[in-house]
Amino acid sequence: MMETRKPPSCTTAASRGDAAAAEGDPEHFCSTCAFAEACAQAGYGKSELHALHCLVEHAGPFEPGRKVFRSGDPFRALYAVRTGMIKTTLVDAEGREQVLGFYLPGELVGLDAIYPEHYPCDAVALEITECCRFSFPAMSALAARLPTVQQHLFRLLSRELGAASLLAGDHSADERMAAFLVNLGDRYAARGGSGTAFRLGMARADIANYLRLAAETVSRVLGRFRERKLIAIDGRRVELLDPPRLRELARNVLGT
């Protein structure tokens, strides 16, 4: 059974001001909180969003390969990645897995389940992963009282739809890979990490599946990028050596 637990903010630990509770006390949300952007844009202090924080249950840890939720499960909650990484997948009629997306710390998983009211895909941990679980009925009620939270949910949903169309169109393998790396770097940077040096938490086979390319093609493209001094790569560590050139290469995919 999945372990869920309330964060320290809704326990007596926070009221005591324990250092161990600082990550989750009413004045200090997690640095990877999916709603931190809403707080900053609204100028809210964390105490003003204490009700939001008390909706959170910590779920996990999920070992690599374990499912956070399964396709067809009733939709009851959104999951925000705290640590680790999640991929979403769908199995087609022929039994082939299709990778739909990857989620980093601070990103919400499950937004595409709001309308059908069931999860349309599996969410699978790629590394040891911990999540924050937000009850969606409670979240909806809170969003009705806090317009900024509601607006932020709409922005996240819009972003999710945009990501789903990222790879639509007839683009070359080089364009797809450049867009993937640039997009990943931008997302890490938006969460306070390095946008040019990061770890690829997913396997090459998953990247190939997501980009709708053969695994050998992904290896060839990465090798080409390395030869052209666009990237440096060591195992799963990648550094974007020339982000402007990569961004230009990805321009048709990203629409920028």
**pLDDT, tens digit (0-9, with 9 covering 90-100), for 127-150:** 999 998 888 888 888 777 777 777
Rounded to whole angstroms, how far apart are CA atoms 215 and 234? 17
Write out the residue limits of the CATH 1.10.10.10 domain(s) in the chain: 173-254
Residues, the chain: 256
| pLDDT given for residue 18 in this prediction | 36
| pLDDT given for residue 134 in this prediction | 85
Hey, what are 184's tokens?
A: 């990943």
Distances in Å between the Cα of 146 and the Cα atoms of 29, 38, 152 are 17, 10, 10
Hey, what are 6's tokens?
A: 């309330």
Mean pLDDT value across residues 204-210: 95
User: What is the model's pTM?
Assistant: 0.80
Three-state DSSP state, 193: coil
Distances in Å between the Cα of 57 and the Cα atoms of 112, 149, 156 are 20, 18, 20
Rounded to whole angstroms, how far apart are CA atoms 57 and 85? 18
173-254 CATH, one of 1.20.1740.10, 3.80.10.10, 3.30.1490.20, 1.10.10.10: 1.10.10.10
Hey, what are 176's tokens?
A: 């797809």
4-164 CATH, one of 2.60.120.10, 3.40.390.10, 2.60.40.790, 3.40.50.20: 2.60.120.10
Mean pLDDT value across residues 16-25: 39
